[in-house]
Amino acid sequence: MGGLMKEFFKGLWNDNPTFRLQIGLCPVLAVTSSALNGLGMGLATTFVLICSSVLISLLKNVIPSKVRIPCYIIVIATFSTIVDLVMHAFLPDLHRVLGIFIPLIVVNCILMGRAEAFASKNSVVSSALDGLGMGLGFTWALTLIGAIREILGSGSIFNHKFVADTAATFGFFSLPPGAFVTVGILIAGMNIISARLRKAS
């Protein structure tokens, strides 16, 4: 039981895909102009991650190792197409904002990385937990970056504005350069916190 919990929790902090492994960075920068967009993108990726981890883990004895990469791509592409079509039908506004980054889940390194490094070697249950942990780690990172950029850039949080309409905000953070700088400083912050934790233990 402890082992399974470890698979789940490692994605949240120690192996956090965004801040620690630094993979799957395109959506981290592109869709985090607001907290809600970050949350939506994170949950969409989590869904694809769990489904593809489970399916690849189930198929690990069937897939010949020479053609495993194309097989993983097909599995992941199937699930990201499902998310794309479902979002288009039921959440058209969010789908429009996230744009091509929903079909681009298929080339997100997190998915291929987990398929190759974890799901192809481990049991179905631990692969599902690994996918869930990694997905939620990705989601909280995206939501945090989105929230910071939204608060500073437009003075609102989850689309609730808390400053006067005429108030000046740091528009810089809503624009592409602000995304890079926010992520850079957050990574530095994570390094400081991790160093403190290491010293304490």
Partner 1 sequence: MELFYIFIGAVFVNNFVLVRFLGICPFMGVSKQTETALGMGLATTFVMVVSAALTWLLQWFVLEPFGLPFLQTPVFILSIASMVQLVEMFLNKTSPGLHRALGIYLPLITTNCAVLGFSLIAVQGAYSFIQSIIFGLGAGVGFTLALMLLAGIREEMQFADVPEPLKGIGIAFVIAGLLSLAFSGFSGLV
Question: Facing residues of 161 across strands?
Answer: 156
Question: DSSP states of 127-155 as a string?
Answer: HHHHHHHHHHHHHHHHHHHHHHHHHHHHS
Determine if 127 is a binding residue for partner 1 (CB under 8 A): no
CA distance 161 to 150: 10
Determine if 197 is a binding residue for partner 1 (CB under 8 A): no
Determine if 12 is a binding residue for partner 1 (CB under 8 A): no
Determine if 179 is a binding residue for partner 1 (CB under 8 A): yes
Determine if 188 is a binding residue for partner 1 (CB under 8 A): yes
CB of 29 or CB of 63, closer to partner 1? 29
149: left (phi > 0), else alpha (psi -120 to 50), else beta? alpha
Q: Which residues, at least 6 apart from 159, have a Cβ–Cβ distance to it below 8 Å? A: 34, 36
From the list 40-48, 98-106, 120-128, 137-145, the region that binds partner 1 by CB under 8 A is: 98-106
| Amino acid present at 14 | N
From the list 4-12, 51-59, 147-155, 178-186, the region that binds partner 1 by CB under 8 A is: 178-186
SS3 content of the chain, % helix, strand, coil (to 5): 75, 0, 25
Determine if 51 is a binding residue for partner 1 (CB under 8 A): no
CB of 8 or CB of 79, closer to partner 1? 79
- Per CB under 8 A, residues contacting partner 1 are 22-30, 69-70, 73-74, 77-78, 80-81, 84-85, 100, 103-104, 106-109, 112, 175-181, 183-185, 187-189, 191-192, 195
